[in-house]
Amino acid sequence: MVERIFLSSPHMSEEGYEKKFVQEAFDTNWIAPLGENVNKFETELSSIVGSKDAAALSAGTASIHLALKAVGVEEGDIVFCPSLTFSATANPIIYQNAIPVFIDSDEHTWNMSPEALKKAFEKFPNVKAVLVVHLYGLAANMDEIVSICKAYNVPIIEDAAESLGTTIRGKHTGTFGDFGVYSFNGNKIITTSGGGMVVSNREDAKEKIAKIRFWATQSREPARHYEHKEIGFNYRMSNVAAGIGRGQLRVLNDRIKKKQYIYNYYKNELKDLEGLTFMPVHEWENSNCWLTCIQLSGKIRPIDIILALEAENIESRPIWKPMHMQPFFEAYDYIDHGSVAEKLFENGVCLPSDTKMVNDELERICKIIKGLWV
Ligand SMILES: *Cc1c(COP(=O)(O)O)cnc(C)c1O
């Protein structure tokens, strides 16, 4: 059996940077808690994306949770959230006992529709926060979204879990809002085996990020005994995981280049197939192309491609199933704007986008897909 090709799997540096930083943690016995790798991972990531401060946490999901808390989302508050996303975007709204209102997508970006967002503000002017996602490494329309949210004076949290490195005219996704969140889960563009980061560029970024670190370490007050005035969480990143992260940051640009190469390879090979179109990558953004996704409008359906690849031990997936269609979330409000999220889901496939793939493998995948059209 040929080796399995994955959608997106961990890819450590050929140079062994990760091992060096993890070894340092062992040598100094700073396995846990915290330590130099955590501090340096925060400052190094901050300087790459251009944020004032950053807190390294145990997961992207935990990072979204504490970012919501940092903008004051509490029980009964409304939070706008795109419907087309992974459930990890929406779950932390529920952790805070707040209420998600799901927003339809824009077909030009696949992300939150500014028109649907305007409708949502008219219906729920008392909304507490807006969660924006940059899906598959595609940037949301931040020009419009930021200006709408500014007009209503409502804070923005960017779920940039999938878009580390994606920029809009040179500015990193995750740095447009009050808080930005990255994920280092095993399938993301770089990984720490599991982890997340909250960044901020607010005036009070230092204070707010310090508060997030405090909540993430059980809200321990500075006292000799264990004193707690607030609810705490065990959400900090370990010094070992941060060592892997520091190594991975050194190859982030290589990973972005390879993801973009994969996107362009598929595009060149498959662009003439009838009814097949590619996810929109615009010239105003530099997308990290985390996953290459396509839409199908002809007689070949997503399941045909998924099954044909699966038969050859190659992993591909449907597009995220929208939150308003999920049994757990279907009772919440949904601002529809042409059912774009549903159409993207029904017609979409994520193609294998693993950065370890070689040209022979890409060629094999394209041959299987083209074979469905003959
Ligand atoms: C992966 C992901 C998350 C969650 O990150 P974890 O580190 O796995 O908790 C959140 N949102 C989106 C869009 C993601 O893809």
What's the CATH number where 309 sits? 3.90.1150.10
Please check whether residue 288 is in contact with residue 163, taking contact to mean a CB–CB distance below 8 angstroms.
Answer: yes
How far does the centroid of ligand 1 lie from the alpha carbon of residue 162, in Å?
Answer: 7
- Determine the structural domain holding residue 94 and report its residue range: 17-249
* DSSP secondary structure of 127-161: --EEEEE-GGGPPP-HHHHHHHHHHHT--EEEE-T
Domain count, the chain: 2
CA dihedral sign, ordered 1, 265, 283, 250: positive
Q: What is the pLDDT of residue 235?
A: 98
Q: Which residues are registered as beta bridge partners of 129? A: 79
Asked if residue 274 and residue 245 are part of one domain, the reply reads no
Are 134 and 165 part of one and the same domain? yes
In terms of domains, do 181 and 307 share one? no
Structural domain contains residue 186: yes
Ligand 1 atom with the smallest distance to the CA of 133 is: 13
Residue 177 in domain: yes
Residues 98 and 190 occupy one common structural domain: yes
Examine the fold and report which residue of 207, 234, 249 is the final residue of a domain before the chain moves on: 249
Do 278 and 313 belong together in one domain? yes
pLDDT of residue 1: 63
What region, left, alpha or beta, does residue 14 occupy, with left being phi > 0 and alpha being psi -120 to 50 degrees?
alpha
In a shared domain, residues 123 and 153: yes
Residues 31, 60, single domain; the answer is yes
How many CB atoms sit inside 10 A of residue 211's CB?
Answer: 17
Residue 1 domain-assigned (yes or no): no
Is there a domain that residue 51 lies in? Answer: yes
Inter-helix orientation angle 239-249/36-49, to 10°: 30
* pLDDT tens, the chain, 374 aa long: 678 999 999 999 999 999 999 999 988 887 777 889 999 999 999 999 999 999 999 999 999 999 999 999 999 999 999 999 999 999 999 999 999 999 999 999 999 999 999 999 999 999 999 999 999 999 999 999 999 999 999 999 999 999 999 999 999 999 999 999 999 999 999 999 999 999 999 999 999 999 999 999 999 999 999 999 999 999 999 999 999 999 999 999 999 999 999 999 999 999 999 999 999 999 999 999 999 999 999 999 999 999 999 999 999 999 999 999 999 999 999 999 999 999 999 999 999 999 999 999 999 999 999 999 98
| Residue of 63, 84, 86, 233 best suited for mutating to test ligand 1, as the one with most atoms within 8 Å of CB | 86
What span, in angstroms and rounded, lies between the C-alpha atoms of 157 and 217? 22
Whether 20 is catalytic is: no
Same domain for 263 and 245: no
Cα Rg of the chain (Å, integer): 21
CB of 133 sitting under 6 A from ligand 1: yes
Q: How far is residue 272's CA from residue 275's CA, in Å, rounded to a whole number?
A: 9
Cα–ligand 1 centroid distance for 89 (angstroms): 7
Q: Does some domain include residue 12?
A: no
Q: What is the CATH number of the domain that holds 220?
A: 3.40.640.10
Residue that finishes a domain, picked among 249, 270, 296 = 249
* pTM flag (> 0.85): yes
* Centre of ligand 1 from the C-alpha of residue 74, in Å: 21
Q: Which of 188, 208, 258, 259 is catalytic?
A: 188
